[in-house]
Amino acid sequence: MSVHDGITRISATGGPWPLHDADASRAAEHAALALHAPHLLMAHAGLAVARLAMAWAPQARRVHVLAGPGNNGGDGLVAARHLCAAGVAAHVSLLADPNRLPADAAQALSDAQQAGVAIDIGSLDGDEADLCIDALLGIGASRAPQGLIAAAIAAVNEQRAPVLAVDLPSGLHPDTGTLLGPAAVRAGVTLALLTLKPGCCTGHGRDHAGELWLDTLGVTADAPTAWLSGPPPWRPRRHAAHKGSLGDVAVVGGAPGMVGAAWLAARAALAAGAGRVYCSLLDPQAATLDPARPELMARTAWWQSPPALLAQCTVVCGCGGGEAVRAALPPLLSHAGRLVLDADALNALAVDPALQPLLRARAARGRATLLTPHPLEAARLLQTGPAEVQRDRLAAARQLAADTGAAVLLKGSGSVIAAAGQPTHINPTGNAALATAGTGDVLAGWAAGLWAQQPEAAAADVAVAAAWQHGRAADLFVLAGHRGPLRAADLVEVLARLPSA
């Protein structure tokens, strides 16, 4: 697919990419409007939409443009004019009062009418199209769509033609990726204009935005709200490296009935490159050998080791930990050098007030911690509900990081990584193949394995790298033609074979 130089495909392997929320995007737009002639930005935006439409759907001879009451609709009108000029039959449904359009959109309407573009005002009727362009709502939408706009969103999702969304899918919150109402447009491709919006990258955003493209329209926006992560740098091993120089990982977890979670985390830490990996199980009756990975070393009650030994290790605590993990947490919180807390360790923190001061004290002593909650675990720690966490995933991750002094990797579609005083990241990799038991344990172990080799690295930087690689493994699994879940033990092996670039 060939488009003009100003349009960039947002690839998970090409970042990092700056993200700007609605307020930051509006500030960038206002600054740009002050420097450009009237209508120039919209002219560029509409041309970009038309060019991407023709490149993405070159077979489309009939295009239906749904234009709303703001400048997003104006972009759609400009695009329709260019499509008609290129010989494409573009038909516009303008779902707005023409007399109340903003100045630029009104100019776009006048230009389209003079060019002979077919425009129906206040009507959704139209012939069956080969491509639908969603130019209904922009970043200014903050409440559930009503009336004709809501009906248009439903109609777009019911028709068969592929959908190109202008700036972001209508009905999707630009900052959070939540739905403003009962539905949002499901696009196959979204052309972001001026800035990339975080809402297209997390929550429901990835399902609704589809493939992301960006045209900055020649504008440089300041102060990103967050970053869409890129691939971590490859770190070749030095020839003189040995297992003692690559760090030790200890996994504490595996209560009765959940021993597999601890072994999975240990396998992942080993595959990530840690020099030595110990597994300390909370089930006293469990076997002390993983037959598939005899390199892993079992240790009884490892968390009771001398503080100096705990301080040397990167520790994963909580995978399959059950209630028994509470006894192991006080010494680990007090002495572990680098600590990854997952699953039942997080649940224990949420319900045991005596543990929370120990966690906060780690930061004051310069000991780094990474929390890897899913939304329900994050909700327990924040004393709210998972729906509230999902309503604003960036805010939830930032609040949890501020409350605990730890770095936070909030898992889910578009995992969010936050730490006080550091940029927030959204992870662009991964898919629903990871929606199966044990993949979170693998992520915790993989992060610990990376961290053991770079003990000086910030917890958030480790989390960014681990989340990207974890998701990339699932993406490669799907690209290879596999269907269904990527089982956790298999995920470890896919991770171990990740290409270096």
Q: For position 162, what pLDDT does the model report?
A: 97
Task: Name the nearest CA neighbour of 69 among 114, 121, 14.
Answer: 121
CATH number of the structural domain spanning residue 247: 3.40.1190.20
Flag whether 339 is in a domain: yes
Domain identity same for 190 and 253: no
Residue where a domain terminates, one of 227, 260, 292? 227
Domain identity same for 212 and 328: no
First-to-last alpha carbon distance for the chain, in angstroms, is 23
Lowest mean pLDDT among 199-213, 227-241, 343-357, 426-440: 227-241
Domain identity same for 190 and 311: no
Flag whether 175 is in a domain: yes
Flag whether 163 is in a domain: yes
Flag whether 233 is in a domain: no
Domain identity same for 185 and 253: no
Q: For position 12, what pLDDT does the model report?
A: 94
Structural domains in the chain (count) = 2
CATH number of the structural domain spanning residue 67: 3.40.50.10260
pLDDT of residue 174 exceeding 70: yes
Q: For position 36, what pLDDT does the model report?
A: 80
Q: For position 171, what pLDDT does the model report?
A: 98
**Letter string b/e over residues 247-286, b meaning 16 or more CB atoms within 10 A of that residue's CB:** bbbbbbbbbeebbbbbbbbbbbbbbbbbbbbbbbbbbeeb
Domain identity same for 204 and 251: no
Which helix (H) or strand (E) segment is 192 a member of?
Answer: strand 189-193
Residue where a domain terminates, one of 227, 254, 286? 227
Percent of the chain scoring above 90 in pLDDT: 92
Flag whether 1 is in a domain: no
Domain identity same for 221 and 248: no
Domain identity same for 327 and 220: no
Q: For position 33, what pLDDT does the model report?
A: 84
Range of the domain at 120: 7-227
Q: Which residues contact 256 (CB under 8 A, 6 or more apart)?
A: 282, 283, 285, 286, 322, 324
pLDDT of residue 501 exceeding 50: yes
